[in-house]
Amino acid sequence: MLTLNPMNSSFNKLLTFKTMITALMIIVFSINFLLIERVDALSDSRQLVLDAWTLVNEGFYDPEKFDEVQWKRIRQKTLQKQIETSEEAYSAIEDMLRPLEDPYTRILRPKDYELLKSSNFGSEINGVGLQLGEDDDKKVKVISTLGGSPAEEAGIVSGDLIETVDGISSEKLGLASTASKLRGESGTKVLVEVSSESGEIREVDLERRSVDLRPVRTKRLRDDSHTIGYLRITQFSESVPKKVEEALRELKDKEVEGLILDLRNNSGGLVSSGIAVADSLLSEKPIVETKDRNGIKDAIISQKETSFDGPMVTLVNKGTASASEILAGSLQDNERSILMGEKTYGKGLIQSLKSLGEDSGIAITVASYLTPKGNNIQGQGMTPDKLLDLPDASDYGSTDDKWVRNAELFLGSLLEKEEESVQTIELNDEEIKS
């Protein structure tokens, strides 16, 4: 007689149930694992946006702007966007920064970040050789061209407007993206539409190449009466203060009596380098005042020792900007040097460069600066003591450079007055002795 075993039936059902639960757990675990990977990938990109927001929130020089644009709400709305890749994160950060209306606070994609670091710390850069800014109408404007660059050879000058780059409007691109599109590998070409201050529009086909920055150049100028040193600084990179010290020592060894400091078309660079050069030319004098987000003015005072204490003329033009304006302003306000040339560009904001992620960065405007006498340069520029209504030379410092010749003649007259003053003192001493 056969009997059914209820234990076997229950056991089979239990085994089937356990098998189903195990399979279900494996499926759920697999799905969760995939979701975790997905969330982590999204988190990296979103973290990039959040890090950028935090850095700007902590450092931006004008916190009142945050209330005006509802800065915290912008963060919330930005993080609600689809941000799955680094490129989507960069675009989201650009959108997030736009309401601040500060073209100098900007995201730097890996290529731009690397190029900016190389220009600040290296001796050459690949591109067309344009230093760009924005005018009052938010149009992309040429601050200056680098000497020997494709842009200079094509006749692009300070004050020109960049209308399009490879057919794309600079207004649509914005300052940072316009500058980025102009950079690139040596040998590649870029088509640029440029408009002059007179309204003339032309297309220029530029071939990118490695531009030797040579930030410090020097020579000795001699005439029948005097020996004058000529020192040109094209930009303020990390190596400049040391190179300037070496150049001044070399000129002193050649027994120069006066110095022409040429800052034409120097669009700036590292503010710390500009301040260091001012320190080498001033003795216990204020160099600059910086005004941070809390309204605190912090004055920087030069040390006692100087590298050159003879008479000076400093040449400036509308391409003189930022760190070079700090230097020129400190020399003018302390009556250390006569300024000669054109009104300067007028960039009085200081940026801090921060790393963002592994290979990108963000530039943040952290302070504004004032000259020792409290003059605000931002948007106004500096007016020289002696204006020069002369065409700019094609080769700065050459024998055809009328600006340098004017500075040389002015220095010569100063030196002659000093000699006459010394002779008068000597005659007076002789009268006293007799």
Q: Are residues 208 and 220 in the same domain?
A: no
Backbone angles phi, psi at 343, to 5 degrees: -60, 140
Which of 180, 197, 212 is where one domain is finished?
212
Number of domains in the chain: 3
Q: Are residues 193 and 222 in the same domain?
A: no
> Distance between CA 288 and CA 261 in Å, rounded?
19
Q: Are 243 and 214 in contact (CB under 8 A)?
A: no
User: 109 lies in a domain?
Assistant: no
User: 427 lies in a domain?
Assistant: no
Which of 186, 212, 238 is where one domain is finished?
212
Confidence of residue 431 (pLDDT cuts 50, 70, 90): low
Q: Which of 102, 112, 279, 333 is catalytic?
A: 333
Angle at alpha carbon of residue 292, lines to 286 and 293, rounded to 5° = 165
Q: Are residues 268 and 230 in the same domain?
A: yes
pLDDT digits (tens, 9 = 90+) for 194-204: 999 888 999 99
Confidence of residue 41 (pLDDT cuts 50, 70, 90): very low
Q: Active site includes 285?
A: no
Q: Are residues 175 and 229 in the same domain?
A: no
Whose structure tokens read 């054109």? 342
Q: Are residues 52 and 181 in the same domain?
A: no
Q: Are residues 55 and 164 in the same domain?
A: no
Q: Active site includes 118?
A: no
**Ramachandran category for residue 240: left, alpha or beta (phi over 0 → left; psi -120 to 50 → alpha):** alpha
Q: Find the domain containing 294 and state its range.
A: 216-417
Q: Which residues pair with 107 in a beta bridge?
A: 362
Q: Are residues 403 and 275 in the same domain?
A: yes
Q: Are residues 140 and 220 in the same domain?
A: no
Q: Are 292 and 298 in contact (CB under 8 A)?
A: yes
- Sequence-ordered list of residues with C-beta below 8 angstroms from that of 158, at least 6 positions apart, any chain: 142, 143, 144, 145, 265, 317, 318, 319, 345
User: 156 lies in a domain?
Assistant: yes
pLDDT digits (tens, 9 = 90+) for 335-377: 999 999 999 999 999 888 999 987 899 999 999 999 999 999 9
CATH number of residue 157's parent domain: 2.30.42.10
pLDDT digits (tens, 9 = 90+) for 139-165: 898 888 877 789 988 999 888 999 999
Q: Which of 119, 149, 177, 322 is catalytic?
A: 322
User: 178 lies in a domain?
Assistant: yes
Q: Are residues 230 and 199 in the same domain?
A: no
Decide if pLDDT at 26 tops 50: no
Which of 212, 237, 255 is where one domain is finished?
212
Beta-carbon-side half-sphere exposure of residue 187 (alpha carbons within 13 Å): 0
> Distance between CA 112 and CA 106 in Å, rounded?
11
Q: Are residues 237 and 250 in the same domain?
A: yes
Q: Are residues 200 and 252 in the same domain?
A: no
Q: Which of 243, 285, 347, 354 is catalytic?
A: 347
Q: Are residues 40 and 129 in the same domain?
A: no
Helices 271-281 & 323-333 angle (0-180, nearest 10): 20
Residue type, 110: P
Q: Active site includes 67?
A: no
